[in-house]
Structure 1
Amino acid sequence: MIFAEIVDWSIALVPVLLMAALFVWLDVFKLMSVSEMIGLLLLGALAALVAWPVSGQMLDALPMGYSFYSRMVAPWIEEALKGAALALLIATNRIGYKLDAVISGFTIGAGFSVVENILYLVRFPELSASVWMVRGLGTAVMHGATTAILAAVTHELIERSLRNQGARRGFNFLWMLPGYLVASLIHLTFNHFPDQPMLVMILTLVVAPVLLIALFRLGENETHQWLTEESEAHRRWLEEWRAGGFPADASGQRIKSLAARLKPEQASLIRDFCIVKAELVLAAEEELLDRDRKLEEGEAERLRAAFARLEEVKQAIGKVGYAALNRQLPFSANDEWELEELRELIGR
């Protein structure tokens, strides 16, 4: 009896967790740490617990329910809750590149499915191992895949809207609507074949990994291209600052106009801040492109000193002066995310 329960729990919970760990391991840019992965799993688990007061009272004792709620209502509610967890990450700038978005989305979905399957395991312990196989290899993978698709579509819309606007100045839920509709319709379709669970499971196991790997490779190529282009732009920007002038782009000219209205010592602080921040952003991009996520001896200490210098100059500029400067800086939300990745790398 105990052995049978261990088998049931293992096939219901382990496959999707292994798949999430595999995606994190395959990430050549090493964007996600183990602690971050656990945090995302817990975020997805929380979304499942929020769904329990409604969905939990309408569970069918089958891998995919026959009820109207299971087929027509649950997909919209569950994808909305997983989407809310994803929205929290996006709104707080915890997702940088599309690759990061895909991994984060799948991991949130995995966390959701684990809790959902635990609830099934507790409520229906008498069900056969074949049911848990369908839920562990079919339903759980579907949850991860739909949230990954939602994340990828949302990320694409955000980048199209904001790539040329500098730092993000808010979060628009309309960015998530197309991805939410796609994810919900896939989920709804999945739930519409309760009398053929094994076939649906097999199709999910074939289609979902292929689709996810395609998104994964797309995200990887996009990340590499973005990092290369951004690092080249920041290198040119830094060279212009170091040469004693102002960058020729719109941002540089706005900062030039701001500096002209200030006292020489304040203008000098603005130049120092721009140089140090550009150096740090460039260092973050070079470390991501390096891919091994390891620093040379003494590099971590130098970067810590640079972060300390950046904060020192920021304080010297003052709140009002920094607020005026920050509106003109060309650094995007992705650049700020890269700086957070660099801080994590050096242990700050």
Structure 2
Amino acid sequence: MASFELIDWVVALTPVLLMAVLFAWLDVFKLMSPWEMIGCLLLGCVAGLVAWPISGRMLDTLPIGYSFYSRIVAPFIEEALKGCALAVLILSNRIGYKLDAVISGFAIGAGFSVIENIFYLARFPELTTSVWLVRGLGTAVMHGTTTAVLAVAAHGLGQRSLRQQGGRMFNPVWLLPGYLLASLIHLAFNQFPNHPMEDMIVTLIAAPVLLIGVMRFGESETHKWLIEDRETHRRWLEEWQSGAFPSDDSGQRIAALSAQLKPDQAALVRDYCIVKAELVLAAEEELLDRDRKLEEDQATRVRAAFARLEEIKNRIGRIGYAALSRRLPFSRNDEWELSELKELLDRD
């Protein structure tokens, strides 16, 4: 009997986790570290724990739980909770490109489904393995897919702001279209209580095809953006190093600020811009290289550059840096690239 229970837990919990790992492995840029994946799973678990007191009465209608509430109301509540978990990642600038939007979203949905299935397994141990197979390969994969869809849609709406200097940190409206689409997919999945195996088969076919297709598009888009951003940052760096300022609006704002400062402070502002541009370029080169590994001498130079950046920031002072930071041309996406570079240093 115990062996059958173990099989139930395995088929209910592991398939969606293995699929999340597979998507991370397929990412040629290797944007998600194991710890980041675990963090996304835990966010999904938290959303699942919050959902349980709200949606727990679905248990009363198991084996699959197709009451009016679970078919019509629960999809909107559960997708909203997973959307809140996704918002945490966006607010903390943990999503840079569509690739990690897909993987992060799927991992959040996977974590949510794991908690949901653990509750069901504990509450209804007498149900057959076929029920847990449907939940593990059908319902759980659906949860991951809908959150991935939400993440991709939110990233698509917010990408312009995330890639421009002075863009908004987060706008809840970015989540709304993806939330509605994810809820409708979830709603459609729950409309066929008498055909669970068919639901599972359709999900297992459609979800990987959809998500891998989005990932392949994301790879092309990421490569294109990195090339464009690298050339822009290289041009800025050359202009700053030559003693001029970039000709765009941000460069002219920094020029106006420098004109108001004493020569030594103006020199510090220029040094800060140069070092930060060098680091952003290094981050973009590393992402384009795709090996996700820094050579020893390269790591030494990057560490020294980060230390130099912090030293210049301290010398500029809190008030001066506050004035400078509002004028810097670097976007939230550039800051995300720097965080990826720091993570590489921490791994070495």
TM normalised by structure 2 equals 0.97
Match of 1:297 in 2: 296
Equivalent-residue separation in structure 1 for 2:90 and 2:251 (angstroms): 28
Matched residue count: 347
Match of 1:73 in 2: 73
Equivalent-residue separation in structure 2 for 1:329 and 1:15 (angstroms): 45
Equivalent-residue separation in structure 2 for 1:231 and 1:259 (angstroms): 25
The structural deviation recorded for 1:167 is: 4.1
* Gap regions ≥5 residues in structure 2: none
Q: Is the 8 A contact 1:63 1:134 kept in 2?
A: no
Match of 2:59 in 1: 59
1:24-63 paired onto structure 2 within 5 Å: 24-60=24-60, 62=62
CA offset digits 1:110-134 (Å, max 9, x no partner): 0000110111111111111110110
The structural deviation recorded for 1:160 is: 3.4
1:128-277 paired onto structure 2 within 5 Å: 128-164=128-164, 166-277=165-276
Equivalent-residue separation in structure 2 for 1:104 and 1:143 (angstroms): 13
Taking every aligned residue pair, what percent have the same amino acid on both sides? 72
Q: Is the 8 A contact 1:71 1:192 kept in 2?
A: yes
RMSD, matched Cα: 1.2
Equivalent-residue separation in structure 1 for 2:235 and 2:339 (angstroms): 22
**What residue identity is the alignment partner of 1:256?**
A
Match of 1:102 in 2: 102
Equivalent-residue separation in structure 1 for 2:58 and 2:46 (angstroms): 19
Equivalent-residue separation in structure 2 for 1:163 and 1:80 (angstroms): 26
The structural deviation recorded for 1:60 is: 4.6
CA offset digits 1:153-200 (Å, max 9, x no partner): 000000134544x14443211110000000000001100111110111
The structural deviation recorded for 1:294 is: 1.1
CA offset digits 1:74-122 (Å, max 9, x no partner): 1011000100000011011111111111100000000000110111111
Q: CA separation of 1:314/1:259 partners in 2, compared to 1, >3 Å: closer, same or farther?
A: same
TM normalised by structure 1 equals 0.97
Match of 2:87 in 1: 87
* Gap regions ≥5 residues in structure 1: none
Matched, 1:3 2:3: yes
Equivalent-residue separation in structure 2 for 1:278 and 1:160 (angstroms): 20
Tell me which stretches of 4 or more aligned residues in structure 1 moved more than 4 Å.
Answer: none
Equivalent-residue separation in structure 1 for 2:163 and 2:88 (angstroms): 20
**What residue identity is the alignment partner of 2:130?**
S
The structural deviation recorded for 1:61 is: 5.1
**What residue identity is the alignment partner of 1:264?**
P
Q: Is the 8 A contact 2:76 2:183 kept in 1?
A: yes
Matched, 1:340 2:335: no
Report SS of the residue matched to 1:347: helix
Equivalent-residue separation in structure 2 for 1:283 and 1:82 (angstroms): 34
Report SS of the residue matched to 1:32: coil
**What residue identity is the alignment partner of 2:177?**
P
Equivalent-residue separation in structure 2 for 1:161 and 1:304 (angstroms): 29
Match of 1:324 in 2: 323
Equivalent-residue separation in structure 2 for 1:60 and 1:120 (angstroms): 11
The structural deviation recorded for 1:295 is: 1.2
Equivalent-residue separation in structure 1 for 2:104 and 2:212 (angstroms): 14
Equivalent-residue separation in structure 2 for 1:190 and 1:52 (angstroms): 20
Equivalent-residue separation in structure 1 for 2:125 and 2:244 (angstroms): 72
**What residue identity is the alignment partner of 1:94?**
R
Q: Is the 8 A contact 2:147 2:182 kept in 1?
A: yes
**What residue identity is the alignment partner of 1:120?**
Y
Equivalent-residue separation in structure 2 for 1:163 and 1:170 (angstroms): 11
Match of 1:286 in 2: 285
Q: Is the 8 A contact 1:63 1:194 kept in 2?
A: no
Equivalent-residue separation in structure 2 for 1:203 and 1:263 (angstroms): 67
Report SS of the residue matched to 2:198: helix
Equivalent-residue separation in structure 2 for 1:227 and 1:64 (angstroms): 46
Q: Is the 8 A contact 1:63 1:132 kept in 2?
A: no
Equivalent-residue separation in structure 1 for 2:148 and 2:243 (angstroms): 46
**What residue identity is the alignment partner of 1:254?**
R
**What residue identity is the alignment partner of 2:104?**
S
Equivalent-residue separation in structure 2 for 1:170 and 1:224 (angstroms): 23
The structural deviation recorded for 1:297 is: 2.4
Equivalent-residue separation in structure 1 for 2:167 and 2:16 (angstroms): 33
**What residue identity is the alignment partner of 2:292?**
R
Q: Which region of structure 1 is more displaced relative to structure 2, 155-164 or 296-305?
A: 155-164
